Structure 1
């Protein structure tokens, strides 16, 4: 199957069955979203949503966060992965938002990446979710699912390479949605260790499913949920 056909199947299914996907992070404004996304690195959205209410109550604006130290922030995020580093990042983020950007979350990827704890993935999430820009954030789910479906070539071995490969074939207006489609499919169906291929609506054209079913047929065995191939490596941490 040609790659253009794979993208057509992907876009047709999700635009029909899941036309308005949204992030599962809870937020009320751009400031809350960027804080939540910084906390979500190598951590589940569910855990982030649990700590956000108390954190935002204590530090409701960038100015409040700017006045805090990492030691002030730490008790509110101690259950999050890497709390020491993230406490430092948030305190620094509050100061930079206040001093350099007038307390507003910038709308450009370049400016966002100047903020502590904000890499390209986080910046892409913010501009996509808040400003509806055609940015594709590549986390471990997007990386895994796009490879399994055959949407990106095997040579796309870095998040940036995957990002470029995906946006090449997805219409700009659908890129923010496609980011969520891939994440949510990876979170609930195409999971890392035991992908739920038997209930996946995309299996009829999925490259991973086809290869695993072919391998099973050659071995003369019956497969249920195929396990992740040891040759299929993922340079991103599992979240």
Structure 2
């Protein structure tokens, strides 16, 4: 477990991400990454492109969760990523694996199961934000999806954060990763971060406790988010 307290979480994440991707590609790998949404992540994505050692045509991108709203909707994580870096850096459409959108003619459960069939057996890196309530992806405190052990992606109804319908990867999918990096910023995340990193606690209270990288788990925090540690 690595906990970094930095002045600029977005800039640190962007630099670390490009360094890691360049390292993997230098070893002949085509990195498989699950992206997160959120303000800090999108701030980081806007900074990508500084490292010429990253070949973005050889990076496959999935998402940890998505709002089940129409394609192109401003609330969708994939659309925010397109606006922040995918289009700007010319990431090929064949390398981008968005979750299904509302209007896809599938039920939410069918859409989740369909997405699961296209996931890699394991990720090189999973990026995650942390909500003030301790949720990760769209796995919320007290929700039944926290107990899922077989399905890799699930439907979520009644999300405490709008919009209410979502698709989320589950713990079995998120934990199938060499690296898991959490990023959090602001005083509003401090209590959740403290609970997530405490020696003891419940995944049902703080879902962020339920995800760990096989090789490394890294937390990138600004001083406000780390203020309760």
Q: State the TM-score, normalized to the length of structure 2.
A: 0.27
Q: Which has the higher strand share?
A: 2
Q: Which has the higher helix share?
A: 1
Q: State the TM-score, normalized to the length of structure 1.
A: 0.27
Higher relative contact order (CA 8 A, sep 6+): 2
